Amino acid sequence: MTASGRKCNGHRDHWRLWPGVRTVAGLLLLFAAGGVIASEPSPQRQQQLIHMVRQDCGSCHGMTLQGGLGPALLPASLADKPVEGLVATIIFGRPGTAMPPWSRFLAEDEAHWIVNRLLQGFPQ
Amino acid sequence: MNVLPRRLVSLLALILLLAGCGSAPLRGTGDLGLVIERASGHVTLVNTSTRTAYARIGGLGDLSHASVVYSRDARYAYVFGRDGGLSKIDLLEARIVKRVMQSGNAIGGSISQDGRIVVAQNYTPGGIKAFDAETLELLAEVPAEYAPGRFSKVVGLADVPGNKFAYALFDGDEIWVSDFSAPTRPVTTRFPAGRQPYDGLVTPDGRHYLAGLFGEDGVARLDLWQPEKGVARILENYGRGQEKLPVFKMPHLRGWSMAGGRAWLPAIGRHEVLVVDATTWKETARVPVKSQPVFVMASPDGRQVWVNFAFPDNGWEQVIDTLSGQVVQTLQPGKAVLHMEFTPRGESVWISARDDNRVLVYDTRSFRQIASLPAEAPSGIFFTSRAARIGF
């Protein structure tokens, strides 16, 4: 998990230059996510992640995730977006927009857990 | 001989009775204010003389990113909720007088020079809406349609002299000034601003509107005394082409940035406060600070600038001495410091620590904590001294 995380971070500079990296990284993330189901974040970590999404992601996306300066993160607004793309957006950010990379604070499996919860309707 | 004392006694009784009829003794509002409790839709009403809370009001909806402006008599607070709720609160009677849902997604508002018009700035649908300050009836709206069918989120709304409001279009890259001289028929002038203005401020004299840019290094400045000269750029290319650090929370601008004839502004993607001469608008200094600044707030006398920071350094607070231009104090008031507010003459500053569920009061001379009040996930703190300020 950590190893693949490092690899993805190493690709960061290329990310902007070569869109194909997105697919490669996406696959890496998918692969990473595949191995993650067994290692879901601990209940304590889940609480931290929920707090972080509501409060810190919420400063742009809204505490209720209905959007603000950033877009809404409700199930209906994310339904048509591929999971791996959403995970990559959290981890690497979106250059040219206000979305920063959160890789300093989140492992990919945690970002994946967040995306899955967002798609289901995020816990309070 | 017996008659007079008896009359006096009944007169005294009458006075006591009349005094008892009033629900509370007469008082002013100059030392009152309110604290937003963002997670639970409450506000706590506070007294800055006694440093205590005196009432708590609920039922205000989603108050994340809520902001407040005051009526010109400083009795009523207009609370703009994130969910588009606009509530008018009577500070003396400690109750909601009026409440309307004015949009789907709002981030703040302002009140006109004459105090008659309250204007909300909205993300969805993008634009501003003007309301009668007395009744909260809709007077007019200005959709932020910067291109046919394209609407922008509105940021940085500030009242300016002449019953005008200046604001910026995050998606439209423009500054707009709407003149509400005829409150139901606003006239809007548009100015190109630069990429992604994220917030704005009006200088305390009401002359200059500054819009901070997120999408490029620089700040757009419009001289409202000479709008025909258009937008000038200040702090251009302050990043000098270096890669930006990630910004985990967008900074906020307001007229409190001015101190000692200079503007103290948060850099974007740099851990610096940028200092600009407010006459020449040239950069005069940069103050390195702990992290990405969010609020860069001058004390009323302009001697100090207090700075808080974006996640993950939002437990810190730094104080810049404006004479030396140096950080002179670094504090850790609590977890998730979201906002600061100075008492009207600045002898103390109130600081909200969201994740500690507390509001902390610091003495601005000794930097000692002198009071601590409970509040549920407190965010914005707003004192009635804002009522008399241009640009709030």
- Residue B249, chain A, CB below 8 Å: the answer is yes
With CB atoms and an 8 Å threshold, state whether A69 touches B124: no
The model's pTM: 0.88
Mean pLDDT for all residues in chain B: 94
B248 at A interface, C-beta within 8 A:
yes
pLDDT average, residue stretch B122-138: 96
Contact of B247 with chain A, judged by CB distance below 8 Å, is answered with yes
pLDDT tens column, B242-281:
889 999 999 999 988 999 999 999 999 999 999 999 999 9
Nearest-CB residue to B105 (from A60, A67, A93) = A67
- The distance of B265 to chain A (nearest Cα, Å) reads 19
Asked if residue A33 has pLDDT above 60, the reply is no
> Chain B 320-349, CB below 8 Å of chain A: which residues?
336
Chain B: closest CA distance from residue A110 (Å) = 17
Average pLDDT over residues A36-58: 88
Whether residue A52 is predicted with pLDDT greater than 50 in this model: the reply is yes
Band of residue B23 on the pLDDT scale cut at 50, 70, 90: low
CB–CB contact A69 B170 (8 Å): yes
Q: A-contacting residues of B 121-160, CB under 8 Å?
A: 123-124, 153, 155
CB contacts of B250 in chain A (<8 Å) are: 59-60, 69, 98
Confidence band, pLDDT 50/70/90 cuts, at residue B21 = low
Which of B64, B214, B250 lies nearest to residue A63, judging by beta carbons? B64
Residue burial B198-208, b: 16+ Cβ < 10 Å; e: rest: bbbbbbbebbb
Q: Which residue of B has its CA nearest to A63?
A: B64
pLDDT at B239: 87
User: What are the strands of the beta sheet with B105-111, ordered from one edge?
Assistant: B105-111, B117-124, B127-132, B138-143
Nearest CA in chain A to B338: A59
Percent of chain B clearing pLDDT 70 (strictly above): 94
- The residue type of B77 is A
pLDDT value of position B104: 86
Kindly state the average pLDDT of the residues A103-114: 97
Does the structure show a pLDDT above 50 at B160?
yes
Q: Which of B311, B354, B357 to mutate to test the interface with A (most CBs of A within 10 A)?
A: B311
Choose among A98, A101, A105: nearest Cβ to B250: A98
Q: How far apart are CA A49 and CA B155, in angstroms?
A: 29
Query: Above 90 in pLDDT, residue A101?
Result: yes
Mean pLDDT of B93-118: 96
User: Which two structure tokens, joined as six digits, stand for B20?
Assistant: 């008892």
- Min Cα–Cα distance to chain A from B175, Å: 17
Domains observed in chain A: 2-120 (1.10.760.10)
pLDDT in tens, B60-69: 999 988 999 9
Min distance B223 CA to chain A CA atoms (Å): 27
| Range list of H helices, A1-124 | 2-10, 12-17, 20-34, 43-51, 58-61, 75-78, 83-92, 108-120
Beta-bridge partner residues of B220? B211, B233
Q: Do A59 and B196 touch (CB under 8 A)?
A: no
Q: Which of A66, A68, A93 sits opposite B246 (nearest CB)?
A: A93
β-bridge pairing B52-57 and B67-70? unpaired
Burial of B240 (0-12, 13-18, 19+ CB in 10 A): exposed
pLDDT digits (tens, 9 = 90+) for B344-373: 999 999 999 999 999 999 999 999 999 999
Contacts of A63 in chain B (CB under 8 A): 38-39, 62, 64-65, 82
Which residues from chain B sit within 8 angstroms of residue A66, using beta carbons?
A: 83, 104-105
Please list every residue in chain B whose beta carbon sits closer than 8 Å to the beta carbon of residue A67.
105, 123-124
- Measure CB to CB from residue A63 to each of B38, B196, B198 and give the nearest one: B38
> What's the gap in Å between the CA of B101 and the closest CA on chain A?
16
Q: Does the pLDDT of residue A21 top 70, yes or no? A: no
Give mean pLDDT, residues A59-66: 93
How far is residue B159's CA from residue B74's CA, in Å, rounded to a whole number?
Answer: 16
Specify the DSSP element, H or E, that contains B220.
strand B219-223
Find the angle CA(B165)-CA(A66)-CA(A16) to the nearest 5 degrees. Answer: 90
Averaged pLDDT of chain A: 79
Confidence check: pLDDT of B18 > 80: no
Name the band, by pLDDT with cuts 50, 70 and 90, for residue B15.
Answer: low
CA distance B372 to B354: 13
What pLDDT, on the 0 to 100 scale, is given for residue B240? 84
Contact (Cβ atoms closer than 8 angstroms) between residue B53 and residue B78: no
What's the pLDDT score for residue B4?
53
Q: Are strands B262-266 and B272-277 parallel, antiparallel or unpaired?
A: antiparallel
A5 interface with B at CB cutoff 8 Å: no
